[in-house]
Structure 1
Amino acid sequence: MTRILSSFSEVSATYDLALVDLWGCVHNGEVIYPAAEAALIAYRKAGGKVILVTNAPRPEAGVRERLDAMGLSTDAYDAIATSGDAAQQAMLMGAVGTKVWHLGPDKDDGFFTDLPDWAKDRPAIERVSFDEAEGIVCTGPFNELTETPEDYRGRFLAAKARGLKLLCANPDIVVDYGETRIYCAGALAQLYDQMGGESLYFGKPHPPIYDLARRHAQKLGLAFAEDRVIAIGDGIQTDIKGGMAEGVDTLFITGGLAADAFGADVEQPEQAALDAWLQSEAQSPSFAIGRLR
């Protein structure tokens, strides 16, 4: 049975490293959660290390800039591993060709412009029209607030007929932007797969982003011993599934995407409701908590 915690500090001393999700865990896309920030600062003061592991489809620098703008203290984390970095590396290695069609909003342009130093030794990636493309790089819908995956069915039929691969820079299906639920690149890639197309994934729950987190851990002087690492997040099929696949303990934030499933008090999930829901999701996190605190 998944143990419900009242605070992260109940178990935090057991772990040297916390892999912490951002959206739905540390912020809601608009504001930082003060209790989560305080919990991470306290954990680091006690000697723990924090790597923010996010499915944001942007390189680390862009995520850090956004967190600074939102006011997250740099005392709350040590490093950032992003799906954008992992997926960008694959793109630069030619995973979907050198001429790509970018499916996503303008705010994700940094995926193509904020390149690592080693990229200068690779063939240049050119953004082209759909008709000229050798592959698709998807960072999300063009308009996150109004569009759904179905808006792309026609374009995906044409892409499938041409045998184009789709590189998904953010495997999340949905996130809550404030009080509004919006679709992410993962929802588009999921539809493309269902239609018989081929999507490539590099964020949670897939291994590449955890390989990136391991490299960050090494830079922090940690050996990434599985029994001393905990993955924290509100995505049961991303944060928790991915953490379990890596062999580490997991802390499920019930007050995120699935908050309505666990009772009237978002801060206090009901054990029976939680157990039944987790069984339906075929996942078994080590711990659960209403919100990170």
Structure 2
Amino acid sequence: MTRIIPALSDVSSAYDALFVDLWGCVHDGVKAIPSAVAALQTYRQGGGIVILVTNSPRPRAGVVKQLAQFGVPDDAYDAIATSGDSARSAMYRGVVGNNVWHYGPDTDSRFFDPLEILDNPAPINRVPLDEAEGIVCTGPFDPLADPETWRADLEIALDRNLKLLCANPDIVVDRGEVREWCAGAVAKMYTEMGGESLYFGKPHAPIYDLARRRLYALDKTIVDDNILAIGDGILTDVKGAVGEDIDSLFISGGLAAAETKTVTQPDPAALNAYLEAEKFDPTFTIGHLR
């Protein structure tokens, strides 16, 4: 059974590194969460390494810029691993073909910037759906629209037997007080319709491989037993940690705040009922990262 803790510092001395989710943990999609920033700064001052592991479809440089805009200082983390970078690497290896249809807003166009870390990357061309060999989904065109509006395009893709590369497996995020759909919801619908969706962010292995590469570039001696994964997504952060056999700290005051009746801390009975229903048991739980 999960252990509810009052602060990260109660358990952090047992870990050499943290894999920390961003949205709902370090920021709320609009601004930084001060208690979370302070907790990470304190952890780093004690010698710990913080790797931000995010399902953002943006390249790492874009996340760095966004964090600065939100007020997250650069001394709160050491490195960043994004679903976008993991998915971009796969795209430039040609996993969905050379001619791709971009399912997503124009604000995600940096996803298609050249990727210089690969030798001989596949040439990628953005084309209309009826000319595409595959789909690259960075999110819905309108994150507030009814998901049924996605179905017509996905039916065309399904008829053409196109694979869908999902750059962000999250289903929803909360931007301040507003809940938005993410690329994972599109991919989920496409899979349920009978299509093939490829995932590279949490809870899937590729992003953890990338996070470890970021970590090992700083310290090659750290083993999985000494890594703690932190996040508010039970089916992304916690499920991913379980799959990687690393400990987890569940932030109940994020996506599951209502289900766990979290204000400052979760209601124990509501938390246990939620975890039992989801069939995951994080190592630790806290209302908000602090």
Alignment check: 8 A CA contact 2:102 2:135 kept: yes
Q: TM-score, normalised by structure 2?
A: 0.98
In 1: Cα distance, 2:51 partner to 2:122 partner: 31
What amino acid is the match of 1:284?
A: D
In 2: Cα distance, 1:262 partner to 1:156 partner: 34
Equivalent in 227, 230, 246 of residue 229 of structure 1: 227
TM-superposed CA distance for 1:120, in Å, is 6.9
In 1: Cα distance, 2:129 partner to 2:119 partner: 25
Q: Give the corresponding residue for 2:138.
A: 139
Q: TM-score, normalised by structure 1?
A: 0.97
Alignment check: 8 A CA contact 2:92 2:115 kept: no
TM-superposed CA distance for 1:124, in Å, is 1.4
In 1: Cα distance, 2:167 partner to 2:252 partner: 25
Q: Percent identity?
A: 57
Alignment check: 8 A CA contact 1:44 1:76 kept: yes
Matches within 5 A, 1:87-98: 87-98=87-98
Q: Give the corresponding residue for 1:82.
A: 82
Alignment check: 8 A CA contact 1:214 1:224 kept: no
In 2: Cα distance, 1:169 partner to 1:23 partner: 16
What amino acid is the match of 2:269?
A: A
Q: Structure 2, unaligned stretches of length 5 or more? A: none
Equivalent in 265, 286, 290 of residue 289 of structure 1: 286
* 3-state SS of paired residue (1:109): helix
Alignment check: 8 A CA contact 2:115 2:121 kept: no
In 2: Cα distance, 1:215 partner to 1:72 partner: 23
Instruction: Give the paired residue count.
Output: 290
What amino acid is the match of 2:7?
A: S
Q: Which range is displaced more, 16-25 or 269-278?
A: 269-278
* 3-state SS of paired residue (2:186): helix
Q: Which range is displaced more, 216-225 or 67-76?
A: 216-225
What amino acid is the match of 1:199?
A: S
What amino acid is the match of 1:55?
A: N
* 3-state SS of paired residue (1:288): strand
* 3-state SS of paired residue (2:221): coil
Q: Give the corresponding residue for 1:10.
A: 10
In 2: Cα distance, 1:149 partner to 1:42 partner: 41
Alignment check: 8 A CA contact 1:254 1:266 kept: no
Alignment check: 8 A CA contact 1:227 1:248 kept: yes
Q: Structure 1, unaligned stretches of length 5 or more? A: none
Matches within 5 A, 1:116-131: 116-119=115-118, 121-131=120-130
